Amino acid sequence: MEEVLNVIKDKTLTYQQKVIGLARIAENSINVLSIREDIEEYRQEGIICDLYEGNAPYRPRYIVPNYEKFMAKGSEFLGLKPPTDIWEAINNLLILYKHVPSITSFPVYIGNIDTLLEPFVTDEKEARKAISFFLTHIDRTLTDSFCHANIGPLETTAGKIILEVEKELQNAVPNITLKYSDETADAFAIQAIDTALVTAKPSFANHEIYTKDLGNYAVVSCYNGLPIGGGSHTLVRLNLAKLAEKTTEIETFLKVILPDAIEKMVTYMDERIRFLVEESEFFQTNFLVKEGLINLENFTSMFGIFGLAEGVNHLIQPQNQKEKFGHGDVANDLGMKIIKNIYEIVNQHKANYCNASGGKYLLHAQVGTDFDHGISPGCRIPIGDEPEIHEHLLQSAKFHQFFPAGIGDVFKFDKTTKNNPKYILDIIKGAFTIGMRYFSLYCTHSDVVRITGYLVKRSDMEKLESGEQVLHDTVVLGLGSVKNQKVLDRRLRKDE
Amino acid sequence: MNKGFINRILPFSSVDGPGNRTAIFLQGCNFNCLYCHNPETINICNHCGKCLEVCKMDALSIVEGKVKWAKDNCNHCHRCIKLCKYNSSPRVFEASVEEIMAVLKKNKVFISGITVSGGECTLQIPFLVELFKEVKKLDLTIFVDTNGSIPLWNEGEFVTLADQFMVDLKSIDAQEHKSLTGSDFNIIVDNIKYLSKLNKLHEVRTVIVPNLLNNRRNVEETSLLVASLNPLIKYKLIKYRGLGVREGLINDSSPTEEDMNKLEKIAKDNGCEDVQII
Ligand code: SF4
Ligand code: SF4
C-alpha cells in the first residue's frame, strides 16, 4: 500500500486533507460496481470520467439540503431548536454544514444565506459582526471551493451586508451566486458587481430560466443547478475531445461513435446510482433524509460533457482562426448539432431515481479539472481563441438552453471597469435576455481568481507551488488548471 | 441618402458614458490639439494613396480614385495611420444610418445607449439628426461627446434628440486655448452653460498636461464654473498620456498620481461632488 504511505508522508497535505485522502484510497480498494468491459475501457482512456467520485458510492455527489425547513424546524438528530436570534441562526447553520456529505466531505451548498439570515437582522451593526464571523468560519473550516452559497434575487439587508463583508474579507470560500431577475434592484446588482471585481464573486444566475427548468433550485458546487431538498446522485462526464479522436468522419462520429459512447455512459451512471440508492444504505439511514431536509424524490443526476471545442476542431480541421469553433459557421453549426444529438439521446434514456427531472439525466457543461491538458470546459471557446465579447456572448448563449444542470462563461475585466460597474450589468442583462444561464466575472488585479467554476487565491497557489501546506484542498486543482488550462490567460474584456 | 464619415465603431465601451455603450467615432475635427491622442481622426482622407505602400496585408487598394479598406484582411498594425502625414486614416468609411442601425440592432440588448464622439462629431450634425431619430426608436439613450466649438443653441433638433452631452474644456484661458487647439474658447463656455440649463450636461473634462498648461488654474476655474452650474455634473480630470500622440509637438510626461490627487482636491473643495481621475 505504497499509495497510503505517500499520502501520509506528503508534506503539502494538511492533516484533514490526509484523512480524506486515506478514506478515498480505502473506498477505491474495493470493487462493488458491475462495469461492462467496454465501458471500463472508455474509463481507462479518460473518455468517461467520474471525477474522483470513488469506487463505492456511499453518499450522493451533490446534496442540496432544504435549509429553510431546517431553520423552521431545527433538527432532532443534531439536537437543535429553531434559532431565535442571529447568533443562534449562524451557529445552527455552521453545525449542520459539518454534517452534509459530499465526495469531498464538504457541503457543496450552504443555503440562500441572505434570506436565511434576514429574519434575524434586527440591529445592523450586530448583524455585520455575526455575518463576518459566519463567513470567516466557513472559509476556515469548509476548506473546499466547491462550497457554494446563494443570495437574492431580492435585495435584503443581510444580502447587502454579505456583499460588503466579502469585499473586505476576500476569501475564496464560499463560492457565491446571485440569483438575478428583473426583480433584483439595480443598486443591489451593482453592489454585487463591485464586490465581484474585487473578489471574483458573486456570479450571476439567470433566475427566470433556472426556475422554469428546475422549480425551486439552488446553484451549487461550480455552477450546477439542482433542486432544493434533493440533489444529484452522480456527475459523470464525457470527454468530447478524446471521443472525437476515434474518427475523422463527421457522419461516423454523429451516427456511430457518439450514440455508442452515450449508451456506455448512461449505463455506467445507472450502475453507480443503483448501488448508492439500493445498497449503500444512505437513503435508508441518513438523518437528512429522515428529517426531510432531503428527499429521494428531489434527486436527479448529471450527464456532463466537456471538450466540445477541441472535438469540433478535430473533426473539421480548421485552416485558420476564422474557421475554428467560436468563429466559423461550419464549426459552430457542428458544435450545435453535436449538443442537440446528445440532448436528444440522453433524454430518451429512462433514468431511475431521478424523479426531480422526470426520470431523465440532466445535461451539464462540465468545467474540466486540473489534469485536462488543453481541453476546454463544456462548450466554452478555448482560452486564447475567444472572440470579441459581443460575438462571444451571442455564440455561447445558444448552448445554454440545453444545460439545465449548469453551464456558464467566465469573463475577465480590466480594472477601469470599476469606475463603471453598470457597464457590466448592461452586459449581464443582455446576456440573460438572449438566454445565457450563468455569468461569472473577475478583475485582472484581484487575488481571488475564478479558475473554471471555483475560486482560488493566487497567493495560495504560489505557496503550494513552493511546497507549503495550504488550507483549501482546491488550491491543488487551481494550480493544475493554471498550468494545463491556461486559465489566467483569458481574454481581457476592455473595450472591444 | 445621408452618410457619415466614420473612423470606428466600438460595439461595447465602458468609458464613453454610463453603462455599456456603443461608441461611434466620427471622422474629422476642427481643432488641432497638440496632445491629440487620435490625430488620425482630424482630417478626411485626400486619397493620395501613400499609405498603400506600407500595408503588408493587402487591406488597402485604390478604387475609382478612392482608397478602399478591406476590413477582413486588416491586422490592425496601424502602419498606414503612422505613415499618413495628413492626420487621416485610410480605414475611415462612409456609413448610412441603416448600416449603423444594423450594428446597433444586433447589440441592442447589451447596451444602455450610444455615444457619438470623434474627431468632432458636431461637424456632421445633419447626419447625426437622421441617426438619432432612428436610435430613439430602439429606446436607447444618446450621449454626445464634443469639443463644444459649434454653437449648440442654433441646433435645436440635434440637442433635443440627444439625451446628454460630455464636453471638453481644454483651457480656461483664451490665449492658452488658442495656442493649444487653434480655436477660441468663448463658445465652449457658452455651450456648457446652455447645456447645463437644459439639464443635458453629463460631464466636463480637462486634460492635465504638466509643463505645457497651467493645470492648476484650469482646474480651479473650471471646477468653480461646473459647481456653480450644478455640483452633481461629473468633472473628469484626464491624465495626459504619450500614447498615440504625434511626435515632436509636445515633449511631456504624464502627471504623477500626487499631482492628480491635488487637482482632485481643488475641484472638490470648489464644490464639485462627482470628480473622477482617469
Ligand atoms: S490615409 Fe493619409 S496617406 Fe492614406 S490615402 Fe488618405 S491621406 Fe493619403
Ligand atoms: S492597419 Fe493599415 S497598414 Fe495595417 S493591415 Fe490594416 S490597413 Fe494595412
- For B128-156, the pLDDT digits (tens) are 999 999 999 999 999 999 999 999 999 99
Count of alpha carbons within 13 Å of B107, Cβ hemisphere only? Answer: 26
Task: Identify which of A250, A483, A279 has the alpha carbon closest to the alpha carbon of residue A369.
Answer: A483
Three-state DSSP class for A412?
strand
Q: Which of ligand 2's atoms lies nearest the C-alpha of B91?
A: 7
Contact A495 B109 (CB under 8 A): no
CA dihedral B206, B211, B213, B218 (to 10 degrees): 60
Query: What is the rounded distance in angstroms from the CA atom of residue B255 to the CA atom of residue B240?
Result: 7
The CB of B50 under 6 Å from ligand 1? The reply is: yes
Q: Specify whether the CB–CB gap between B2 and B134 falls below 8 A.
A: no
Q: Which residues of A, range 332-391, sit inside 8 Å of B by Cβ?
A: 388-390
Smallest CA-to-CA distance from A228 within A214, A217, A212, A213 is with: A217
**Three-state DSSP class for residue A339:** helix
Question: Cβ separation of A433 and B109 shorter than 8 Å?
Answer: yes
Per-residue pLDDT at B68 exceeds 70: yes
Q: What single-letter DSSP state applies at residue A177?
A: E
State yes or no: pLDDT of B65 exceeds 70.
yes
Q: What are phi and psi of B64, to 5 degrees?
A: 50, 45
Is the predicted pLDDT of residue B17 greater than 90, yes or no? yes
Q: What is the DSSP string of chain B?
A: --EEEEEEEEEEESSSSSSSEEEEEES--S---TT-S-GGGSS------GGGGG-SSS-EEEETTEEEE-GGG-----HHHHH-TTS--TT-EEEEHHHHHHHHHHHGGG-SEEEEESS-GGGGHHHHHHHHHHHHHTT-EEEEEE---S-GGG-HHHHHH--EEEEE---SSHHHHHHHHSS-SHHHHHHHHHHHHTT-EEEEEEEE-TTTS-HHHHHHHHHHHHHHH-TTSEEEEEE---TTPPTTT----PPPHHHHHHHHHHHHHTT-SEEEE-
Instruction: For A190, list phi and psi in degrees, rounded to 5.
Output: -70, -35
**Distance in angstroms (rounded) separating the CA atoms of residues B203 and A318:** 48
How far is the centre of ligand 2, averaged over its atoms, from the C-alpha of B49 (Å)?
Answer: 13
Is the ipTM higher than 0.90? The answer is no
pLDDT, position B125 = 96
In the three-class reduction of DSSP (H, G, I as helix; E, B as strand; rest coil), residue A63 is classed as: strand
> Which one of B20, B108, B112 would you mutate to disrupt binding with A, by most A Cβ within 10 Å of its Cβ?
B20
Residue B253 has what pLDDT?
78
Determine the pLDDT at residue B212: 80
Q: Which residues contact B257 (CB under 8 A, 6 or more apart)?
A: none
Q: How far is residue A475's CA from residue A461's CA, in Å, rounded to a whole number?
A: 6
pTM of the model: 0.90
Please determine, for residue B126, whether its predicted confidence score (pLDDT) is greater than 80: yes
* Chain A contact probe: residue of B8, B10, B13, B14 with most A CBs at under 10 A: B14
User: How far apart are the CA of B256 and the nearest CA of chain A, in angstroms?
Assistant: 18
Closest by CA position to A73, among listed A65, A81, A64: A81
Question: Using a CB-CB distance cutoff of 8 angstroms, which residues of chain A are in contact with residue B8?
Answer: none
Residue B211: predicted pLDDT: 79
Cβ distance of A419 and B276 shorter than 8 Å: yes
Residue B55: CB within 6 Å of ligand 1? no
Partners of A416 on chain B (C-beta within 8 Å) are: 14-15
**Nearest Cα residue to A99 out of A301, A293, A300:** A293
CA count, 13 A, side-chain hemisphere, A488 = 16
- Cα of A197 to nearest chain B Cα, Å: 14
B77 lines ligand 2 (CB under 6 A): yes
Q: Nearest by CB to A495, from B14, B111, B278: name it.
A: B14
Name B180's Cβ contacts closer than 8 Å, sequence gap at least 6: B33, B34, B35, B170, B171, B212, B213
Q: What percent of chain B has pLDDT over 90?
A: 74
Q: If you average pLDDT over every residue of chain B, what do you get?
A: 91
Instruction: Give residue B53's pLDDT band: very low, low, confident or very high (50, 70, 90).
Output: very high
Count Cβ atoms below 10 Å from residue A31 Cβ, excluding itself. 9
Among candidates B15, B19, B276 on the partner chain, residue whose Cβ is nearest the Cβ of A426: B19
| Ligand 1 contact, B86 CB (< 6 A) | yes
pLDDT at B251: 65
Q: What 3-state DSSP class applies to A338?
A: helix
Q: Is the dihedral of CA A333, A338, A339, A344 positive or negative?
A: positive
Q: Which of these, A405, A433, A396, lies nearest to A227 by C-alpha position?
A: A405
Residue among A154, A252, A237, A203 nearest A436 (CA) = A203
Q: Which amino acid is located at A36 in the chain? A: R
Average pLDDT over residues B18-41: 90
> Among residues A3, A43, A57, A10, which one has the least CA distance to residue A25?
A3
What one-character DSSP code corresponds to residue A179?
E
Question: Could you give the count of Cα atoms lying within 13 Å of A208 in the half-sphere of its Cβ?
Answer: 11
* Nearest-Cα residue of chain A relative to residue B73: A322
User: Over the stretch B178-216, which tens digit does the pLDDT of each residue have?
Assistant: 888 877 788 999 999 999 999 999 999 999 988 788 899
Residue whose CA is at the smallest distance from ligand 1 atom 2? B84
A211: closest CA of chain B, how far (Å): 22
Query: What distance in Å separates residue B33's CA from the closest CA in chain A?
Result: 24
Report how far Cα B32 is from the mean position of its chain's Cα atoms: 13
- Asked if A442 contacts A413 with a C-beta cutoff of 8 angstroms, the reply is yes
Give the residue ranges of chain A where pLDDT is below 70. 452-453, 480-489, 493-496
For residue A170, how many other CB atoms are within 10 A of its CB? 16
Mutate to test the interface with B, among A194, A323, A420, A422 (most CBs of B within 10 A): A420
Report the distance separating Cα B111 and Cα B191, nearest Å: 28
